[in-house]
Structure formats: structure tokens, C-alpha cells
Chain A
Amino acid sequence: MVYCFYNSLLNHLNDKEREFAVRKDEYCKILINKKIADNIYLMSLRNSRISKEARPGQFVMLALHDLNRASDPLLRRPFSICYAKDDVFYLLYRVSGRGTAIMSTLSPHSDIKVIGPLGNWFSQDISFHILVAGGIGIAPLLFLNARLNKLGLSSALLCGARSKAELIGTSQIKDLLQADDISPDGAAQYVTEDGSKGHKGLVTDYLMELIESNCLPQHPDNKIIIQACGPMPMIRAVRRLLLRSRWGENIRFEASLESVMACGIGLCLGCAVETRYGHIHICKDGPVVNGKKLI
């Protein structure tokens, strides 16, 4: 059940079942735009359509050039939806360049143009979900974590970062958003490379321990899925680990990928990523892909 607007149209010919979501380009009012950690900001935007339709894993394209069609910065920027409630949706972003620097200066009450929700989403129907976040990759996984909690599906949330300063605590966001469905800090596992908070090491090492320990439900009827978002080396490490592990074959793996995007809506073919299936386009065939098929 991969969402893809374009493919759904093509499937139409094969008379297959397909799902449509309507994409629109709309002005959204910024409600909050607030620094919550080193270089990390939380932005909330009002749009009931996006908020209602969005599913964990999906993203939006944000226009950062000024509204009278000035051309700088030229391209829109993609951001995962990190939570949605009522008529508001949230973005969690790290300032990493010019566009995100401009974004961090936008004041509440201003309107920005947003196309969304875009792309496909994470599965939410497995008996046990392991969510693996690297740095800002926590964004779509917070949303997933909330939805899984709501559905009553069990999950483990593993958050990795270089150090405590770069770690984003779930409780902090839970409080800011008044989101009952996000797991509190106590329910998440933190891993820092320097050991300044939680376990010391790489989040993937911790994941390995978790898989190899007998803490996971081992019953064959209990299906397990790893859902990861973070830097590419982390995603690749998870894939390698699954290939090596004796449990690997029974564990599914979904990864949310990034790619530079000019349009985010399937027009430019700029967002291609190589996989074992050949090139796929992250904005329409992703961002969530079968992690085992990566190269």
C-alpha cells in the first residue's frame, strides 16, 4: 500500500485498488516558531486539511522566498510532518543552511505557502515497531510514535545523537504540543556517541543488542518492523545489521530517506535514489522505502 499519486493514476488502468490524497498549494499561518534546542526549532502551522490527512512519514514543501514571487531562495524546502492535531500540524527542523536560517526568523502570524501532504507513509499495522531516530530524523518518528500509541500497538523508540546538546527529548515536545499520545522520555531509549545522556555509543549498536537480546517478542506470529529516519550511514548500518542478524529475515525494515528536491511533487525527476529496484523518486515513491532494497 504505497501511496503515489502518479502511480495511482497508472494503476487506474489496471483497475487496482488505490488511494488518493489531494495535494494543494495553500497559505498556512505560522502559530509557533520556537527554538527548542541547539539549532533545533519547532514550527506549527494552521491548516486543517493537511492536519487531518497527514500520515506519519509524509512531508510538506515550504516556500521560503518572499511572497511577492521573489526568487530567493529559489526552491521550496521539504520537511517531515512531526505531529498533527486538530487543525494544526508541526514541523521540527534543524538550521543547516540558508533556507532553514530564514525559516527560523519567520514570525508567528505570518503566512507561508505550503504544498502537502506529500509522499507515502510508514506502516502502522505490525505487532511490534522499533523506531530508530538519528538526530533530526526523530521528526517523522514522533508522529509515528503518537499514532502507534493511539492505535495501541507496541513500540520501542530509540533516539540517537552525537551528544546531549543535540538530543531532542520527547517529553519536551510532548509538553510543548500538549500531546498525550507521544511517549514520555522515560519510555524512549537515548543513545549518545559521547555518553552524555543515556547509553553510550551508536544507536545502531544499541539496536543490535536489542535484537540479539531475548527482550523482543520471538513468537513467529509476532511480526516486527524497524522504522528508521536519520543520516544515510545510520540507515545503511541498520540494513547491514539486519543482513547479519539471525533474526534479520523475520524483521521488516522501512527507512525514510532524504534527497535534494526541486519540486517535491513528481515534476522534475531530481530526487532519484539508487536502489536494488533501480532508481526511485523519493518525493513520489518515498520518502518511506523498503530499507532492505537500498544499496
Chain B
Amino acid sequence: MDNYKNNYNNDKIKTDCREKKGDNAISNEKECEKNNLLSTQIGPISLPNPVILASGTCGYGLELIDLIDISSIGAIAVKGLSLLPRVGNPPPRIIETPCGLLNAIGLENVGIDDFLKRLLPIISSYTSRIIINILGDTALDYARLAKIIEENRDDAIIGIEVNISCPNVKEGGIAFGRSSKGAREVTGAVRGETGLPLIVKLSPNVADIVEIASSVQEAGADAVSLINTVLGMAIDIRKRRSRLSNIFGGLSGPCIRPIALRMVWEVTHSLSIPVIGVGGITSWRDAVEFFMAGASAVQVGTATLIEPDTGIQIIKGLERFMIKEGYNSVKDMKI
């Protein structure tokens, strides 16, 4: 193992581990030594491993605690939060498509206040690395959300992830993330209110992903995560109507992996901003593809819904692969 020792982030991780609640601090420390190989830096964010659970597919983290040890996951990105609670779309909200999942949840969430006051204290006793995903109708909403998070800073909040795939109410409902202007506006609004690490989550439903990534980088983002779901639909041919109450839905799962991988490659090969790869990752092999395309970390979404321990399995598989192939860090995998 010594060959692979990477002191990059060692002390920080050890501290992180000691801070972890519970009485197994010592075994945690051992766990961390082992994870050195996997320790990851995404701009200002340090993680013991590069696997993050994607927003909207791990609830608020709590729903997983009896099924997996969420403290061994790199970080969790909680369900997207808005200023006020949202009820989401009427059912049906979920349709299975070939190797994919079409969803129109409609951004249902408990609202930022309830999350910070009621849920965060519980979740932070299970994991010390939480990324807060936010969404809004206007740039001002995003700014307010960032301000509220800033005012309620907690050690467990390691960053804000901005979902810019939401309709911009002021611009006729076209998603912020579909234009450089919208993406820049939202990123700038959030950056103006917080010093926390800022990740912007990009929508794939654009002509030129590099252009959008470059505009959010200029507006002060520390990293980008891509991709969010691909806009799609399915029709019930007997009822002659869309299978989703919302007509369109967001496609996720293995069927979008090649699109996600291509977009990650485009961004990492044109810009310097760190990229978190998301889209259809179900195994460590899939994750390795994203690292080879230049991703600094990965997020696992739909796969967790089906196999709750996917994230854990990816961490284990990745470590085995890196030892076997002699990689010192995930960054080394970039081709």
C-alpha cells in the first residue's frame, strides 16, 4: 500500500474521521489510511473518496441509513431544496424506459428552512460531508437560498450544488441552464452570497456544453457537475397521451451514460474547471470511464435507487482497480 500513499490530503481526512461521531474513531482512521489512494480534491472540496450520491436519488440521506453506511461515501448531495416547500407534480411521475428512468418528480422538497432546522442535525450525525442542492424560479431565489445557507453554516455542509435545469420564470420558463446568460446570472447570484464551495450542475439539453461551463466558471463556480437528466418523453399508445402527467420528463440511468461521458470529455478537454461526472454510472467500471475522461469525482444517481449499496461497491471496486493498475490517484487515470 505504501507505494500508493498520497499525502495530499492526509491530515484533513484524518481530522474529518476523528470528528465523525460514534465510538469507532480508531477503525475509521484505519479506513482513512486505506482510502488515501482514493482521496480526492474537487477545487476547494476535499473528499476521502470520489464517489458522491446524486441529488434526488438519495433523499435527504436519512432514508439510506439503515441500508448502507453513508459515512463511507465521499459525500451526499441532498434532494434539491427551494425557498418554500414544493409538492411536486401529480402522478404518474416515474416511467421505466429501456435501460433508463424517465422522471417528472417536479422538484418536490421540504424547503430550505425545514431542512436546515430539522433534518440537517440528524443527517450530520451520520455523515460529515453534505452537499446542498438548490433550485429556484428566479436568480434572486437562488441568491436568497445561498444567503440562508451561509447564515446557517455547519461543518457538515461542504458545498452548494446549484441546479440550473429549472425553468426561469422571468424568461418564459426556459431553463436557466439552457443559455449562457441564464447560467451566468444564477451562478453570479449565488457566488455573491456565499464563500462556500460552489458546484454548478449543468443541463445536457444545450447545444454547446463547453460554452455554458465556461460561463459559469467565469461567474465564479468552483466546479461543475454534469449531466443532469436528459429531456425526454414516452407515450401510452392506447390512451393516446403522454405517460407522464407532466408530458416531458428527465431521462437518467445507463442509457444516458455515453452522452454524459462525451460531455464530461468536452468540458475537461477545453476548460480548467474541475468536473464531477454524473449519468448512468452503475459500477466501478463506469466510474473509471469518467475518470479517464477527466472527471475529478463522480455522482451515482439512478443506480442507488435500484441497488442502494452501488456507491459503496464502486468505492471498493475502484480501489482494487487502482491498486492493480498502479494508479496513485483518480486524476492519474485521465487519458
Contacts and interface: CB of A to CB of B under 8 A. Distances in A.
A108 interface: no
A186 interface: no
B59 A270 contact: no
Contacts of B64: 265, 267
Interface stretch (B153-161, B224-232, B258-266, B299-307): B299-307
A268 interface: yes
A13 B306 CA distance: 30
A10 B118 contact: yes
A115 B308 contact: yes
A194 B118 CA distance: 55
A273 B94 CA distance: 12
A260 interface: yes
B91 A274 contact: yes
Given A10-B118, A72-B98, A72-B99, A268 B91 contact: no
Contacts of A5: 63, 66
Interface in A251-286: 259-263, 265-274, 278-279, 284
Given A69-B282, A75-B96, A22 B62 contact: no
Interface string B55-66: 011110011101
B87 A278 contact: yes
Interface stretch (B10-18, B35-43, B101-109, B323-331): B101-109
A9 interface: yes
Interface string A149-168: 00000000000000000000
A259 to B, nearest CB: 6
Given A115-B308, A260-B92, A267-B305, A74 B56 contact: no
A247 interface: no
A63 interface: yes
Contacts of B103: 262, 268, 270
Interface residues of B, number: 40
Chain A contact residues (Cβ within 8 angstroms of B): what range? Answer: 35 or more
Contacts of B67: 23-25, 115, 265
A22 B66 contact: yes
Contacts of B105: 268-270
B122 interface: yes
B108 A74 contact: no
A184 B331 CA distance: 66
Nearest to B87: A279
Most chain B CB neighbours (cut-off 10 Å) among A5, A25, A69, A260: A69
Contacts of A73: 96
B254 interface: yes
A71 interface: yes
B309 interface: yes
Nearest to B105: A269
Contacts of A75: 96, 101, 305-306
Contact of B93 (A22, A76, A272): A272
A268 B94 CA distance: 9
A69 B63 CA distance: 23
A266 B63 contact: yes
B83 to A, nearest CB: 18
B88 interface: yes
Given A69-B282, A75-B305, A115-B308, A6 B62 contact: yes
B58 A267 contact: yes
B100 A74 contact: yes
Contacts of B305: 75, 262-263, 267-268
Interface in A96-135: 113, 115
Given A262-B101, A268-B94, 7 more contacts: A72-B98, A74-B100, A74-B101, A76-B306, A267-B58, A267-B305, A269-B88
Interface of A: 5-6, 9-10, 12-13, 22-25, 63, 65, 69, 71-76, 113, 115, 259-263, 265-274, 278-279, 284
20 contacts: A10-B122, A13-B118, A23-B66, A25-B308, A65-B306, A69-B283, A72-B99, A73-B96, A75-B305, A75-B306, A113-B307, A260-B93, A262-B306, A263-B306, A268-B59, A269-B59, A269-B93, A269-B108, A271-B94, A273-B91
Interface of B: 56-59, 62-64, 66-67, 79, 87-88, 90-96, 98-101, 103, 105, 108, 118-119, 122, 253-254, 282-283, 302, 304-309
